[in-house]
Amino acid sequence: MVKELTRLNQLSGSSRHRQRKGLQRLQHHLQTSALAEISSLPTKTVAIGNAGLACGLSLKDITSVLEKIETVEDLIHDADHKPSYVVRLVPDKPFVLVEHCCEKSAKYAVQCLTGFVFQLNNGTQLPWYPAFVSCSSPTTVINPPTATRMPPDLVLLPDVITEAEEDRWTQFADDILANMTEGPERSTGKPASTVLKNRTTFHYGYHFQYGTNDVDLQKPIQPIPDMFSNVLQRFIKDDHLSVVPDQLTVNVYDPGQGIPLHVDTHSVFEDEICAVSLGSSVIMDFVSSSKHLPVVLPPRSAMIMSGESRYAWKHGIAPRTTDNLPDGETSWRRSRRISFTFRKVRNGPCRCMYTEYCDSQKGQVSKTEVNATLPNGPSTNTEICSPDVEEKFVHEVYEQIAPHFSETRHKAWPKIASFVSDLLPGSVLLDIGCGNGKYLGSSGGKLIEIGCDRSSNLVGICRERGFEVLVADILSLPYRNSCCDAVLCIAVIHHMSSEERRVQALSEIARVLADGGLALLYVWSIEQNRDQKKSSYLKSKKELKEPSGESSSLIGDATCSLPVHVNRTAFQSPDVLVPWHLKSKQEVASSSCKDGDKVFHRYYHVFREGELRQCCNRVSGVQVIEEYYDEGNWCVVLRKV
């Protein structure tokens, strides 16, 4: 290419004449378009005559030539200089405008292109006529009016910061890059930074962990520097933002770098996400289930994602060196781009309406907490985002499977029945998590039996059967202190997804028990095959025609997910999702289908030997008086002392 271009630069007399004519025509077309005029001095922008859409050339034809020049320029110029340009074609015009990053690059292009002849596929020869021009309007790439379809709730604010501010912000980033240390902030006073495969980032306010896509709320780092507060206050004043951000991530993208398509984790950041761009324009792709909308982020602009665009669209930047607008008229070679993303860290779960994409509401757990209270094995060290898991995988599921669940719950377990029959006549018995009321009404009027359950549908079934029941959460029972002589709590505490919550449930049981009162607790055991004897749960495997094997699939994300237990097999993990197969004749909304059955997943924490007792020991005012294993369950009898 270089050789070819050099050869063409040796112009003969007649070609010099043609060159003059060509430039005169270019001058004429530029004047009529009022976009630019030829400059006698070198500028950054080059107009090329005989190289436009009206000549039958496409954007791709032009960029393919420019790319070859830039590739050579990359090699001959110093390593720090990454040449970049913006190409703009104008409909029905026989020229193209190319704005280079600097005069040096523009000069190199003019030198290479003078005398260059483009050959069309049909054999037509098009000699190009390049000239420096001064433009009447800046050539910053913006979204053309014809292509401004944007995702709902996305706001793009052009020129939100001045060029002077852009310079200061760029200098700020350069200073940090110059003396950056990797890893979270320690005592250095430098911001936490990460060199990712595709870009360099640093953080203020909170360190964003790329492994878990989370921030550590307990460990705030250096706050967002004051130099950004003017601009942020301006956004608030102009109603672009409703809350002052407290987390800043700075991303530095060299040409060719990008960021994979993603949704910023709902549970980690609030609704509004504001990204200010500096340097190169770039196309950010927004992708929903059925749509793909490319959006240009020009320098000094702010993009504010909220609502649907923030929660339900993925966004990302393709790792490439050249962007093309879909209109076929604008293309540019990227230079370095710096983005300043301002976000507000969220406290508590996300309650957005885009539940399908919501980690808070889907049980796609991304937060991990270290459980400091359980000394045993590593498998219990990861606890999950409790209230969300219980909401999605316990409360909602029981609500939906209530009628079917009730059909399958008739037979009282002998040891539980005998606990009830041993109570003194006239005792008040409270069944917490009473389900369909299997243990209510069994005393034939000997006891005062009341019950509660978290599922209003199950409570409804109890009411139809004439029981004294109400909807209640075990973590906060609506009963007076010491009002019950006995409590049943069967198959409830294993639905609590952290040890703190299990202990809180036990504390509530202790609170409502009268002095000397007894509570019988049943939880599912991780050991289903004890003393060479299979539990009834494992034994009933054959009738259910379940596939055998270990927990294989996972529901959740890469950092923390819940294994899906295979019914009627041994447990592989203490925290699992256990499928509930609902026969397809049931008219119930479901999460997934398999062989016509609707499958729901219930969350369980299955207990190790001694674990329930240890939890009880953390509750004051009660004493474990009995502990036993019964058909795959760990059972404890508590006495209030």
- Where along the sequence are the contacts to Zn ion (CB under 5 A)? 264, 266, 350, 352, 358
> Roughly what angle, to the nearest 10 degrees, separates helices 2-9 and 103-113?
70
Q: How far apart are CA 246 and CA 231, in angstroms?
A: 14
* Nearer of residues 264 and 575 to Zn ion, judged by Cβ: 264
Q: How far is the CB of 476 from Zn ion (least distance, A)?
A: 25
Q: How far is the CB of 217 from Zn ion (least distance, A)?
A: 17
Q: How far is the CB of 621 from Zn ion (least distance, A)?
A: 40
Q: Which of 251, 302, 297 is nearest to 275 (CA)?
A: 302
Q: How far is the CB of 301 from Zn ion (least distance, A)?
A: 16
N residues, the chain = 641
Amino acid sitting at position 308: E
CB 275 within 8 A of CB 213: no
Alpha helix segments (H runs only) across 229-279: 229-237
Q: 294 is written with which tokens?
A: 């490319």
* Nearer of residues 154 and 358 to Zn ion, judged by Cβ: 358
* Nearer of residues 358 and 450 to Zn ion, judged by Cβ: 358
With H, G, I as helix, E, B as strand and everything else as coil, classify residue 628: strand
* Nearer of residues 285 and 369 to Zn ion, judged by Cβ: 285
Q: How far is the CB of 159 from Zn ion (least distance, A)?
A: 22
Give one word for 324, left, alpha or beta, with left for phi > 0 and alpha for psi -120 to 50.
beta
Residue whose entry in the numeric block shows the structure tokens 């292109």: 113
Q: What angle do CA 49, 55, 56 make, to 5 degrees?
A: 140
Q: How far is the CB of 505 from Zn ion (least distance, A)?
A: 27
Q: How far is the CB of 250 from Zn ion (least distance, A)?
A: 13
Burial class (CB in 10 A: 0-12, 13-18, 19+), 432: buried
Q: How far is the CB of 602 from Zn ion (least distance, A)?
A: 22
* Nearer of residues 350 and 459 to Zn ion, judged by Cβ: 350
**What is the Cβ-side half-sphere exposure of residue 499, based on CA atoms within 13 angstroms?**
24
Q: How far is the CB of 188 from Zn ion (least distance, A)?
A: 27
Distance of CA 274 to the CA centre of its chain: 16
Q: How far is the CB of 635 from Zn ion (least distance, A)?
A: 39
* Nearer of residues 59 and 293 to Zn ion, judged by Cβ: 293
Q: How far is the CB of 391 from Zn ion (least distance, A)?
A: 13
Q: How far is the CB of 360 from Zn ion (least distance, A)?
A: 5
Contacts of 16-23 with CB under 8 Å at 24 or more apart are 18/127, 19/114, 19/115, 19/127, 19/129, 22/49, 22/50, 22/127, 22/129, 23/49, 23/129, 23/131
With H, G, I as helix, E, B as strand and everything else as coil, classify residue 634: strand
Q: How far is the CB of 316 from Zn ion (least distance, A)?
A: 8
Q: 443 is written with which tokens?
A: 């005393």
Q: Which of 425, 535, 401, 406 is nearest to 465 (CA)?
A: 406
Q: What angle do CA 112, 117, 123 make, to 5 degrees?
A: 155
* Nearer of residues 358 and 452 to Zn ion, judged by Cβ: 358
Q: How far apart are CA 641 and CA 629, in angstroms?
A: 24
* Nearer of residues 358 and 493 to Zn ion, judged by Cβ: 358
* Nearer of residues 260 and 610 to Zn ion, judged by Cβ: 260
* Nearer of residues 384 and 521 to Zn ion, judged by Cβ: 384
For 566, which DSSP code? Answer: P
| Count of C-beta atoms within a 10 Å radius of residue 478 | 10
CB 546 within 8 A of CB 567: yes
Q: How far is the CB of 310 from Zn ion (least distance, A)?
A: 9
Q: How far is the CB of 352 from Zn ion (least distance, A)?
A: 3
Q: How far is the CB of 215 from Zn ion (least distance, A)?
A: 14
* Nearer of residues 54 and 352 to Zn ion, judged by Cβ: 352
* Nearer of residues 284 and 486 to Zn ion, judged by Cβ: 284
For 300, which DSSP code? Answer: T
* Nearer of residues 70 and 264 to Zn ion, judged by Cβ: 264
Q: 506 is written with which tokens?
A: 């036990």
Q: What angle do CA 86, 89, 93 make, to 5 degrees?
A: 150
Which distant-in-sequence residues (6+ apart) come within 8 Å of 269 by Cβ?
A: 247, 343, 344, 345, 346
* Nearer of residues 266 and 454 to Zn ion, judged by Cβ: 266
* Nearer of residues 356 and 550 to Zn ion, judged by Cβ: 356
Q: What angle do CA 613, 618, 624 make, to 5 degrees?
A: 40
Torsion angle in degrees (nearest 10) through CA of 230, 251, 299, 255: 160
Give the H/E segment covering residue 633: strand 633-640
Question: Widest CA span of the chain, in angstroms?
Answer: 121
* Nearer of residues 305 and 606 to Zn ion, judged by Cβ: 305
Q: Which of 155, 98, 116 is nearest to 3 (CA)?
A: 116
Amino acid sitting at position 226: D
Q: 438 is written with which tokens?
A: 């299997």
Q: How far apart are CA 623 and CA 639, in angstroms?
A: 5
